[in-house]
Structures are given as structure tokens and as C-alpha cells.
Amino acid sequence: MKILIISVKEIKKFIICVAIPLVTGILSSSIAVLLSQMPFKMQYMQLIKPDFSPPASVFPIIWPILYILMGISAYIILSSKKSTQKINDAMFFYYLQLVLNFLWSILFFGLNLRFVAFIESILLGLVLIAMIYKFYKVDQRASLINIPYLLWIFFVIFLSYFIWILNK
């Protein structure tokens, strides 16, 4: 039987890696609510949406799961024994997608810039594809963990487009 010993330093690194995307999501949604003066659920319910739109209650379940997966994948990359250049390259795209993710709620809900949010979501999808590719070059597990996020972003792009069209 193999005993796995994890150092306190590694536990702290893992917690920080998971906390960063979670805090990013919380800050983004908080700023968006402050700007719009209205909770997401109320805004979402007031929009004209296509029939395939999920109920508002789905989003606060899906996003924390995706943020946790993002954090786990970042931890895997940062713990890799690959070259520093490959790790830094992968993490550049990770942080770039995190910034774009942060901006989306602010654009869509906080500023009611639906078209800009739609275009930004396409850019997020492209950066996410690049990130997954870069992660794959460092550790395949880290890239695979982000597939649900990529699928969700494709759905967000599709949904954003129809919400923008229906609410012009």
C-alpha cells in the first residue's frame, strides 16, 4: 500500500488555485449587481429568452463547479515538472481566460451590453481552446478537466447570441 503525504505548502497552493477562480466569479457577479442595481435572477427572468434557456437556478450551481475545476487544473499545471516556459505559457492563457470570464457578467448584466458580451464570449471561447491546448502540452489531465467548461462556454455563446437578438 502506497501512502501519499502532502505537504502543508502543497495544500495551501491547492486552496489558492481553487480560490482564485471562485473569488473572480464572486467579484465579477458582485460588480455586475452593483452596476445594474438588480440581482442576476431578476434580470435574467426579465429577458426574452429562447426556449432552450435553462432556468436561472442552474447558473449558481454550474459556475462554482466550473470554477473549482479551473482551479484544480491550474494546480495540476503549476505542480508539473515540465519546463517553466511551458507552464508560464499555459498559465498566461489561463489568466487571460479568467479575465475574460470576469468581464462577461459585468458586460452582460452590469452594463447591459449584450452584443459586446456576445462578442466577448466568442473571444473567451477561443482563448479557452488555446488554454486547453497549452494545458494538454503540460498535463493531459489538466486539459481534460476543462472540457465541461468549454462545452458550457459554447452554450453561453449560443445563448448570448439569441438573448441579444431577442432583446434588441
Please write the tens of the pLDDT for every residue from 95-150.
999 999 999 999 999 999 999 999 999 999 999 999 999 999 999 999 999 999 99
Q: How many CB atoms lie within 10 A of CB 78?
A: 17
Residue 2: pLDDT band (50, 70, 90) is confident
Percent of the chain predicted with pLDDT > 70: 99
Residue recorded with cell 497552493: 13
**Neighbouring residues of 72: CB distance < 8 A, sequence distance ≥ 6:** 14, 17, 18, 145
> Whole-model pTM?
0.93
Domain locations in the chain as residue ranges: 10-166
Domain 10-166 listed as CATH 1.20.1260.100: yes
